[in-house]
A and B are shown apart, each in its own frame.
Chain A
């Protein structure tokens, strides 16, 4: 999506941490999401964060939100080869609209 930006590619070694970054433009965004898409598959909801939070941790996943800079990141600890996929951040904007605006996706490649 033109208003949500992500870097296109990230390569890490198995066992290292991965950090996937996302910037968004709408300061009224209420919820921000991370989805994972494996080749030819659907979108799997990984985690989300409400805009009044700074951080959310869920097992190997840590989401950091810097609302001032409109910057969102997803950290995957102890990255495994099964984590190789495209990761999309998405925002749900304020108001009555419920649809999501997605970033362009980051292709994460985990090297053995």
Chain B
């Protein structure tokens, strides 16, 4: 069965640079979620989109923005990167209020 696809899987950036993470949800899923997992921590919700509209917002810094496109893929844009942004970034998708399936994550390292 098709799963959530994230790219890139690994990303290394310098401080103050920008990064773009991409997420391709499971076909026919209408909701995309972004989570951030710091080292040794639990995933923290950042933002979600339902039918291409922002639906909920969590602890997402103002330096980050996201959108969902007409083909339902989503991108998380991160600017002015800080050392503390180093983390695993997960995308998940669901069909309406049903269970969320997570992608393999993008490991971002900020040097």
Contact = CB atoms under 8 A, between A and B. Distances in A.
B42 A98 contact: no
A105 B68 CA distance: 30
B4 to A, nearest CB: 8
B103 A42 contact: yes
B105 A33 contact: no
A35 B102 contact: yes
B104 A41 contact: yes
Main SS class of interface, B: strand
B99 A42 contact: no
B97 A45 contact: no
Contact of B100 (A40, A100, A101): A100
Given A98-B31, A99-B48, A102-B43, A45 B102 contact: yes
Nearest to A1: B42
Most chain A beta carbons < 10 A, residue from B41, B44, B56, B100: B100
Interface of B: 31, 33, 35, 41-45, 48, 50, 55-56, 58, 90, 92, 94, 97, 99-105, 107
21 contacts: A1-B44, A31-B99, A33-B100, A40-B107, A42-B102, A42-B103, A43-B43, A43-B90, A44-B102, A45-B100, A92-B97, A96-B55, A97-B56, A98-B100, A99-B45, A100-B33, A100-B35, A100-B43, A100-B100, A102-B43, A104-B41
Interface of A: 1, 31, 33, 35, 40-45, 48, 88, 92, 96-105
